[in-house]
Amino acid sequence: MSKQQKTNAMRILEQKALPHRLNFYDCDEFTDAVQIAEMLGQDPEQTFKTLMCVGKSGAYYAFVMQGTAEMDLKKAAAAAGEKSIHLLPVKEIQAVIGYIRGGCTAIGMKKDYPVFLDETAELYDEIIVSGGRLGTQIFLSPDAFLAATNGKTADLQE
């Protein structure tokens, strides 16, 4: 495969000297984390998706959880210290975080929004997250992910 252009996520992991591996695959349009994992023969429970939300205060938050799971909005709001939260509309994702739908990662967003990683990540030595563009994955430990994002773990699932 030809040399891939680096994303902000890749640059940050390199700058912070955090161990990680990259995987590139063919993908031209949004495909969810579970479909990608199944297509690539990976464990869908080890593949984590990034959901961007807006709190009642107007603040933005990134919630990262297993691709197979549904987020409990009340638990997520409690983790963020908000009365309530809702998902950021898809049409606003790129403007807010700088990544497109399907290529969203909490690593290297446009601004340092608070990041919450579901506590199920601690079950794995390595998790898989988007690399910042369609067709790119990053494999890294939950600790490396938290160090890259200044994130916290929380119980986010229904």
Per-residue pLDDT, 29: 66
Q: What does the pLDDT look like over 77-112, one tens digit per residue?
A: 999 999 999 999 989 988 988 887 777 899 999 899
The pTM of this model reads 0.91
Domains identified in the chain and CATH numbers: 20-154 (3.90.960.10)
Antiparallel, parallel or unpaired: β 127-130 and 136-140: antiparallel
The pLDDT assigned to 103 comes to: 76
Angstrom distance (rounded) from CA 147 to CA 150:
5
132: left (phi over 0), alpha (psi -120 to 50) or beta: left
Render pLDDT for 40-85 as a digit per residue (tens, 0 to 9).
888 989 999 999 999 999 999 999 999 999 999 999 999 999 999 9
Please give the mean pLDDT across all residues of the chain: 91
Q: Please state the separation of Cα 10 from the chain's center in Å.
A: 13
Dist CA 31 CA 47 (whole Å): 13
Q: Facing residues of 63 across strands?
A: 51, 116
pLDDT (0 to 100) of residue 86: 96
pLDDT of amino acid 1:
40
Name the H helices within 41-150. Answer: 73-80, 93-97, 142-149
Contact (Cβ atoms closer than 8 angstroms) between residue 6 and residue 132: no
Average pLDDT estimate for 1-25: 86
**pLDDT computed for residue 3 by the predictor:** 55
Dist. CA 55–CA 42, nearest whole Å: 33
Token pair for residue 62? 């990134």
**Hey, what are 139's tokens?**
């494999």
